[in-house]
Amino acid sequence: MDWGKQNRISSIIKPDTGKTVMLAVDHGYFMGPTSGLEKLDEAVNPLIPYADTLMLTRGALRYYIDPGVRIPITLRVSGGTSILNKEAMLHEGIVCNVEDAIRLNASCVAFSILVGAEYERDTILAFTEVIDEATAYGIPILCVTAVGREMARDARYMGLASRMGAELGADIIKTYYVPGFDKVVESCPVPVVIAGGKKIPEKAALEIARNAIDSGAIGVDMGRNIFQSTSPVGMIQAVRAVVHKGASVKEGLEIFKSVRDKEAGKAIKAKAKPKKARAKK
């Protein structure tokens, strides 16, 4: 692997642990102002210190993120359909070229392939175009697999889609945790991270992260289970402890609760202050 690509990958996958916490906030590219990301900057800024990379679209990056930020960017470069188009949802093509990704100082580009969908061929051929272009400049490619309601979410499917992504040239695979995940990881020659999926209780999301890491995943690329949490900062710290520090679900949950409770305490104090001030007068 070329030095530049290795260097970019090592900015995302931390060399000391070999793991990564990717924060996915790219949902707007097909879902619009997703719940929790209506004001993307306000949602994301407090989370940046705890994420190893920020995964988002070029529009979100330009409109919401301070260019002075010190975090590697994973830029989504596929898209083309919306959540409203149920028939062709995620029939994606290239929506951002590698030249613009370089202009944005992206450390990685992300592309979704729809293995098994009617239009799999279109997504796969567009994906390989991005791979050719990105590889020429030493930019790593994250292959997003298995998004979409109709995708059979079992280890056999995840294994097939992940292996395809790798053989087509991806450097990192993003997929979903399923029972038997160790088989998915074993048969994939490149690192695997998991998406979080729809919001579920914090404990369940931490369990998925723990199980995925124990099965050989090198991290998470998680969105809604962090930014839609009652305490996004607490949740990302908990996920980080699970991924990088080998924390158990119980330990992760304790981190989450302690941050959440501290935040709640501060909010109560802040509310109480003006009342006291009024009482003095």
Catalytic residues: 174
- Give me the least distance between CB of 259 and ligand 5RP, in Å please: 19
Return the range that interacts with ligand 5RP (CB under 6 A); candidates 20-28, 149-157, 253-261, 264-272: 20-28
* Residue with smaller CB distance to ligand 5RP, 131 or 142: 142
Query: Is residue 80 within the footprint of ligand 5RP (CB under 6 A)?
Result: no
Return the range that interacts with ligand 5RP (CB under 6 A); candidates 21-29, 62-70, 240-248, 258-266: 21-29
User: Residue 188 is encoded by which pair of tokens?
Assistant: 């994939």
- The b-or-e profile of 180-207 (16+ CB within 10 A means b, else e) is ebebbbeebebbbbbbbbebeebeebbb
Residue 116 CA, distance from chain mean position: 22
Query: Is residue 59 within the footprint of ligand 5RP (CB under 6 A)?
Result: no
CA distance 102 to 113: 22
The footprint of ligand 5RP on residues 127-186 (CB under 6 A) is: 144, 147
* Residue with smaller CB distance to ligand 5RP, 168 or 274: 168
- Give me the least distance between CB of 80 and ligand 5RP, in Å please: 12
Instruction: Count the residues of the shown chain that bind ligand 5RP, applying the rule CB under 6 A.
Output: 15
CA distance 187 to 39: 40
Query: Is residue 195 within the footprint of ligand 5RP (CB under 6 A)?
Result: yes
**Cβ-contact 140, 173 below 8 angstroms:** no
Query: Is residue 197 within the footprint of ligand 5RP (CB under 6 A)?
Result: yes
* Residue with smaller CB distance to ligand 5RP, 9 or 147: 147
* Residue with smaller CB distance to ligand 5RP, 83 or 267: 83
**Cβ-contact 157, 116 below 8 angstroms:** yes
Matching residue, tokens 């490149």 = 190
Among 79, 140, 196, 232, binds ligand 5RP (CB under 6 A): 196
**Cβ-contact 91, 122 below 8 angstroms:** yes
Query: Is residue 243 within the footprint of ligand 5RP (CB under 6 A)?
Result: no
- Give me the least distance between CB of 273 and ligand 5RP, in Å please: 36
Burial status of residue 113 (CB atoms within 10 A of its CB: 0-12, 13-18, 19 or more): buried
**Angle, helices 120-136/155-168, rounded to nearest 10 degrees:** 40
Query: Is residue 36 within the footprint of ligand 5RP (CB under 6 A)?
Result: no
Helix H segments across 98-248?
98-103, 120-136, 155-168, 181-186, 202-214, 224-227, 232-245
* Residue with smaller CB distance to ligand 5RP, 31 or 268: 31
| Contact positions vs ligand 5RP (CB under 6 A) | 24, 26-27, 55, 112, 144, 147, 195-197, 221-225
